[in-house]
Structure 1
Amino acid sequence: MIPAKISTKERILNESRRLFFEKGYETTSIQDILSALDIAKGTFYHHFQSKEELLEEIAVQFAKEAHAAMQEEIGDLGEGSGLEKIRQALIVARNWKKGKSEEIRFLTESLFSASNLQLRDKIRRKSVDLSFPLFVSLIVEGQKDGSLKSELRADHLTSIIFDLSDDLGEKVAFYLLGRSKESETEVYELMTSYHKTIEGLLGSPEGGLDYFSREDWSELVLLFKGGAAPAPSLEPLPLVANAG
């Protein structure tokens, strides 16, 4: 079978992703991308208006890849409860991120720079649009099968949970980037507090979403900061731990 031809846009995305990862977003110029691909400036601007737009598309690609992995795993669970499917989706998302820790670190460093505040918000909205229907459907399923006791509307619950997740994600990111005064232990305690809050909102049994251990958090911190990668854990992260 003859391989499908890669479009010019895909070539730009793939090469930019590689260069951003190797050199850093801030230090990679559009000229670096043009030189690596041996294309004209006009060809680049035919597909992307700026380097920021390129980073946006790369970040959205990451979100789509993680979302696809979660959907595939949920489909394999068959008759599992809504709560079980949420837990398994989170395990998949966590392990997917661990497998791409260096690229996730590059994205976090890039998107949490002061100059990319608006871009980060734009990417967040696109990621929410992608994941929102999935989590609404899983909460509805959990309410119907009794694994989640909350009587609040599933879309309202999802909105609240995503807002909490985004707030915590920012705090975790600032810690991982060395911009927080809190200690590793304090951030872990904050994460577990958010986790308990979300369990309560969903009406999950106590521990139904599972707490991850202090050791798991330390491994993730080490991985993000460039330490040796630990073996993938079978235990899920808290529902809201989406930045590590």
Structure 2
Amino acid sequence: MIPAKISTKERILNESRRLFFEKGYETTSIQDILSALDIAKGTFYHHFQSKEELLEEIAVQFAKEAHTAMQAEIGDLGSEGTGLDKLRRALIVARNWKKGKAEEVRFLLESLFSASNLQLRDKIRRKSVDLSFPLFASLIVEGQQDESLKSALRADHLTSIIFDLSDALGEKVAFYLLGRSKESEADIYDLMLSYHKTIEDLLGCPEGGLDYFSREDWSELAQLFKGGGAVSVPSLEPLPLVANAG
């Protein structure tokens, strides 16, 4: 079978993703991309108005890949398990996906958590939420119907509150992983546990229903994202419900 032809836009995205990862977003110029692909400047601007728009597309691409992995896992479960079980599995898949792409995710954190990209980060966050919101809301509805989640609050309201909490925690985690936080590894871990417990209470699931992760798990992840360790075989234990924490 003849492989499908890759579009020019896809070529630009793939090559830019590689260059940003290898050289860094700030130090990669549009000319670097043009030279690597041997294309004219007009060809680039036909698809992307700026380097910022290109980064946005790459970040959304990452979010779509993680979302597709979660959907596939939930689809494989079918009617098996409760809504809480499926929510937990979705988190496991998201965690393991990010862990397997730790270096690329770090590049995104470094790019998006710079002072010059605040508006872009917010724009990407909104797109990521729009992508994941229906899946998590549907799993909460399912959990409420099978009574694995006891909260009587509206599922869409719960999802919105949890995503906001996760975004706030995700920012703190990101700054720590990037070495821009005065808090210690232990401080961040304790904070994660507090957020995690709050989310469990909001959902009305049994204590530990989303599963806590060990201090050792967090240390391994922190080392991995800081570039100090190799990727290990993904475990089946999830991190807390952190939608945007790298």
Q: TM-score range by the shorter chain?
A: over 0.9
**Percent identity over paired residues:** 89
Q: Per-residue deviation at 1:241? A: 6.6
What do you get for the CA RMSD once the two structures are aligned?
Answer: 0.8
Distance in 2 separating the partners of 1:116 and 1:132: 24
Distance in 1 separating the partners of 2:143 and 2:110: 36
Distance in 1 separating the partners of 2:244 and 2:15: 26
Q: Per-residue deviation at 1:95? A: 0.4
Q: Per-residue deviation at 1:230? A: 2.3
1:203 corresponds to? 204
Distance in 2 separating the partners of 1:45 and 1:241: 32
* Corresponding letter in the other structure for 1:38: D
2:39 corresponds to? 39
1:239 and 2:230 equivalent? no
1:215 and 2:220 equivalent? no
Checking the alignment, whether the CA contact within 8 Å between 2:125 and 2:244 is kept in structure 1 is no
Distance in 2 separating the partners of 1:41 and 1:199: 51
* Corresponding letter in the other structure for 1:184: E
Q: Deviations over 1:165-219 (max 9, x none)?
A: 0000000000011111100000000000000000000000010000011000000
5+ residue gaps, structure 1, are: none
Distance in 1 separating the partners of 2:243 and 2:219: 13
Q: What TM-score do the two structures reach when normalised by structure 1?
A: 0.99
1:20 corresponds to? 20
Q: Per-residue deviation at 1:231? A: 2.3
5+ residue gaps, structure 2, are: none
2:185 corresponds to? 184
Q: Per-residue deviation at 1:240? A: 2.5
Q: Does 230-239 or 142-151 show the bigger shift?
A: 230-239
Checking the alignment, whether the CA contact within 8 Å between 2:193 and 2:212 is kept in structure 1 is yes
The number of residues matched between the two structures is: 244
Q: Per-residue deviation at 1:52? A: 0.2
Q: Per-residue deviation at 1:228? A: 1.9
Checking the alignment, whether the CA contact within 8 Å between 1:191 and 1:240 is kept in structure 2 is no
* Corresponding letter in the other structure for 2:179: G
* Corresponding letter in the other structure for 1:147: S
Q: Per-residue deviation at 1:242? A: 4.2
Distance in 2 separating the partners of 1:168 and 1:129: 19
Flag the 1:44–1:61 CA change in 2: closer, same or farther, 3 A: same
Q: Deviations over 1:140-159 (max 9, x none)?
A: 00000010000000000000
Distance in 2 separating the partners of 1:111 and 1:238: 22
Distance in 2 separating the partners of 1:75 and 1:232: 20
